[in-house]
Amino acid sequence: MLSMAIDPIVSTGPSALVKVHVTIVDDVIAGESLWALPLGGAQYVIKNVPFAADCCTFGDVVECVQDPVTRELEFVAVVDSVATGYWKILFAETASEDQRTSILEELEAAGGNMEEAQGAFFVMASLRPTDPGPLTAILLSHRATLWFADLFPG
């Protein structure tokens, strides 16, 4: 079960983002923070690619319920998913920065949406209407440079 707690709004105006914390139960990672754009009511658009939370990804419209006292948001459902899938990618220690950059540029040109963590670990979402096949082919062609690349269907 995932629960989200909203932090104060960090900017103002029509593009104000809120910080959303996702608690992950039964995982090595206790949770992570996401940025979301309030749409009104209980709906939000996720504005970054989660690394550990498998419930949503960048661009998804999600529904949350907020506790009026604690201001915690509870994840209810994905209202509209924009991803066809996403990959968690970890480059091998032997992969140079030039190799990583080249592969990531190739994936982005094919329709992947990247977010980096800790230098060698990346999450890439395949956004609709992108066919995930070419992205998979790129990853397979560089398998010697990767430690792993797991696909999670969207």
User: Residue 111 maps to which CATH number?
Assistant: 3.30.70.100
Nearest in space to 5 (alpha carbons), one of 57, 60, 72: 72
Q: Which of 80, 109, 136 is the last residue of a domain?
A: 80
**Whether residue 50 has a cis bond before it, omega within 30° of 0:** no
Domain match, 108 and 40 both = no
pLDDT in tens, 43-76: 999 887 777 777 788 888 888 878 677 677 777 7
Residue 51 has a CB neighbour count (10 Å cut-off) of: 17
Same domain, 126 and 147: yes
- pLDDT per residue over 112-146, tens digit each? 777 666 667 777 776 665 677 787 888 888 887 87
Distance of CA 141 to the CA centre of its chain: 24
Last residue of a domain, one of 58, 80, 102: 80
Range of the domain at 64: 2-80
Q: Is residue 8 over pLDDT 50?
A: no
Clarify whether residues 72 and 87 are in a common domain: no
* Statement: the pTM of the whole predicted model exceeds 0.75: no
Residue recorded with tokens 């907020």: 66
- The reply to whether 24 and 42 lie within a common domain is yes
